[in-house]
């Protein structure tokens, strides 16, 4: 099964479950001894990418959407938040249009 690294770290570290490989392009820094699927199964370019989204009901007023967007961008811009996310195996990708949270790869 494919699961985000941050949800599997406790069981992987406790040895109650063994990660066979990660489905990212490169090895995950939190699981450096776990090979990628490209390495372990010989499938070049194999990658599973996860997306996280924040949704609001249809017809939510534009002002509310703008306020939520501003607050979320501010929170994701905090260095302390980046450190917490990195500790969970998540990496924030930023562009001029948006910020998106990206998993460093599911296990």
Confidence (pTM)? 0.58
- What does each C-alpha distance from 45 to 5, 22, 39 come to in angstroms? 19, 12, 10
Radius of gyration of the CA atoms of the chain, in A = 16
Q: What is the pLDDT of residue 24?
A: 87
Contact call for residues 12 and 31 (beta carbons, < 8 A) = yes
- What local confidence, expressed as pLDDT, does residue 10 receive? 83
101's enclosing H/E stretch is strand 99-103
For the chain, helix, strand, coil in percent to 5 are 35, 15, 50
Residue 97's pLDDT is 53
pLDDT score recorded for residue 106: 44
Low-confidence ranges of the chain (pLDDT < 50): 96, 99-107
Write down the pLDDT at residue 95. Answer: 53
pLDDT tens track for 20-43 = 898 888 888 888 899 999 999 999
């Amino acid at each position: 099964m494919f699961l985000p690294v941050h949800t599997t770290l406790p069981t992987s570290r406790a040895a109650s479950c063994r990660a066979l490989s990660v489905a990212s392009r490169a090895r995950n820094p939190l699981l450096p001894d776990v090979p990628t699927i490209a390495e372990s199964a010989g499938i070049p370019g194999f990658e599973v990418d996860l997306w996280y989204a924040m949704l609001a009901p249809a017809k939510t007023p534009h002002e509310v959407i703008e306020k939520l967007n501003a607050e979320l961008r501010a929170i994701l811009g905090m260095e302390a938040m980046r450190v917490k996310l990195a500790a969970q195996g998540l990496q924030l990708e930023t562009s001029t249009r948006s910020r998106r949270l990206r998993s460093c790869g599911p296990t």
